[in-house]
């Protein structure tokens, strides 16, 4: 296990379609975070899991967004009825239980056309 893996790396979808992204964190990390980054901006926090529990959600996470981490390992982020404004890089990060630092994945770049 060499790091945080995200799949797919790129996704192009038509407006109105649903998309799902996957994040596999470092295996011993129990905390998992999703961030969104638009062009020229720093990442913005979306949501956070500790094990399988979703403990914090940003106001940015509208009803069309849902995230799960069913077994406390990998996580999925689903966007329903995609809009052009959803086009962004979606970043996943994980950290150790007692919090040392973050390891980021390479991100999934979503383009909604």
Partner 1 sequence: KNEVEQSPQNLTAQEGEFITINCSYSVGISALHWLQQHPGGGIVSLFMLSSGKKKHGRLIATINIQEKHSSLHITASHPRDSAVYICAVRRGGADGLTFGKGTHLIIQP
Q: Between residues 49 and 112, which has the closer beta carbon with respect to partner 1?
A: 49
Cross-strand partners of 86: none
Q: How far is the CB of 58 from partner 1 (least distance, A)?
A: 7
Contact 88, 42 (CB under 8 A): no
Contact 66, 78 (CB under 8 A): yes
Q: How far is the CB of 81 from partner 1 (least distance, A)?
A: 25
Length of the chain: 113
Q: Between residues 81 and 93, which has the closer beta carbon with respect to partner 1?
A: 93
Chain residues binding partner 1 by CB under 8 A are: 31, 33, 35, 37, 40-45, 47-48, 50, 55-56, 58, 89, 91, 93, 100-104, 106-107, 109
Q: Between residues 76 and 103, which has the closer beta carbon with respect to partner 1?
A: 103
Q: How far is the CB of 103 from partner 1 (least distance, A)?
A: 7
Contact 32, 104 (CB under 8 A): no
How far apart, in whole angstroms, are the C-alpha atoms of residue 102 and residue 113? 32
């Amino acid at each position: 296990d060499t790091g945080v893996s995200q799949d797919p790396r790129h996704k192009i979808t038509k407006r109105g379609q649903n998309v799902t992204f996957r994040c596999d964190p470092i295996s011993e990390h129990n905390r998992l975070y999703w961030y969104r980054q638009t062009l020229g901006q720093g990442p913005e926090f979306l949501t956070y899991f500790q094990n399988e529990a979703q403990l914090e959600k940003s106001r940015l996470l509208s009803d069309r967004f849902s995230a799960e981490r069913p077994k406390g390992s990998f996580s999925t982020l689903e966007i329903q009825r995609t809009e052009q404004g959803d086009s962004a890089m979606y970043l996943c990060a994980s950290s150790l239980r007692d919090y040392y630092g973050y390891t980021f994945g390479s991100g999934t770049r979503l383009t909604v056309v």
